[in-house]
Amino acid sequence: MKVLVPVKRVIDYNIKPRVKADGSGVETAGVKMSMNPFDEIAVEEAVRLKEKGVVSEIVAVSIGEPKAQDTLRTAMAMGADRSILVETDVVTEPLSVAKVLKALVEKEKPDLIILGKQAIDDDMNATGQMLAGLLGRPQATFASRVEVADGAVTVTREIDGGSQTVKLALPAIITADLRLNEPRYASLPNIMKARKKPMEKITPADLGVDMTPRLSVVSVAEPPERKAGIKLDSAAELVSRLRNEAKVI
């Protein structure tokens, strides 16, 4: 069984994003970049399925600038067998990314596609669902548990106030939520090994996909800043302030 895992290169989750002075976007030059944390969970799940003997091949994909190959190397150091870089300097949106992935799915014919539920840069939470829609295949978003058996996958999903279980015929699309697993750190020998794993480079044009964004950014601004409040000396004063001043209890 083959798994396709799309991964995105984003500003590291520990770095505070800075809005560019001209308000055109968020500064990424000279900023530490990492694999989107939810995509790490997706890669980890694929690797665990391979370790269980359910999966035979893991293909990592990234769509973006040439540096996204670092992210693919990370995926391969975690356990992906090979990777595909779809190079573009156009701003990626879930719709255009889903179209690229659809073309790759038709070429690679994976049984499962596991994605992070959301990228922590644009916070769209849409690519997996859109890919499933374009392919006309079943989807299970926000997965916290994945079990593959007898040509189907049973997924426990996080929903508001609890969980839901769905069973999907393969091929299917899964998006990973936080509770699915804890991703491993790539070991040094595996990082070295990943350098030798194959990486194919193509462009959206090779796949016949038009990347033109549908959303144009009018401006990007800092949110209104919170001011530091006051320090209090006692629990009694706090309760009094919360009751009489802030009126929240």
Which one among 15, 31, 192, 205 touches another protein, defined by CB under 8 A? 15
Beta carbon of residue 3, minimum distance to another protein (angstroms, whole number): 17
CB neighbourhood size of 83 (10 A): 26
Beta carbon of residue 224, minimum distance to another protein (angstroms, whole number): 9
Beta carbon of residue 43, minimum distance to another protein (angstroms, whole number): 15
Q: Which is nearer to another protein, 196 or 226 (CB)?
A: 226
List the interface residues with another protein, window 129-158 (CB under 8 A). 129-134, 136-142, 154, 157-158
Which residues are CB-contacts of 137 (< 8 A; sequence separation ≥ 6)?
171, 172, 173
| DSSP summary character for residue 249 | -
Beta carbon of residue 197, minimum distance to another protein (angstroms, whole number): 27
List the interface residues with another protein, window 20-59 (CB under 8 A). 26, 37-38
List the interface residues with another protein, window 190-229 (CB under 8 A). 213-223, 226, 228-229
| Torsional sign, CA 16, 27, 84, 171 | positive
Q: Does 184 bind another protein (CB under 8 A)?
A: no
Binding-site size, another protein (CB under 8 A): 82
Q: Is the previous residue joined to 138 through a cis bond, with omega within 30 degrees of 0?
A: no
List the interface residues with another protein, window 155-174 (CB under 8 A). 157-169, 172
CB neighbourhood size of 17 (10 A): 16
Q: Give DSSP secondary structure letters for 59-82.
A: EEEEEESTTHHHHHHHHHHHT-SE
List the interface residues with another protein, window 95-114 (CB under 8 A). 95, 98
The amino acid that residue 31 corresponds to is V
Which one among 82, 121, 147, 197 touches another protein, defined by CB under 8 A? 121
Q: Which is nearer to another protein, 89 or 182 (CB)?
A: 182
Among 42-50, 51-59, 79-87, 90-98, which window interacts with another protein (CB under 8 A)? 90-98
CB 172 within 8 A of CB 141: no
| Torsional sign, CA 187, 192, 194, 199 | positive
Which residues are CB-contacts of 121 (< 8 A; sequence separation ≥ 6)?
8, 10, 11, 17, 26, 36
Q: Does 16 bind another protein (CB under 8 A)?
A: yes
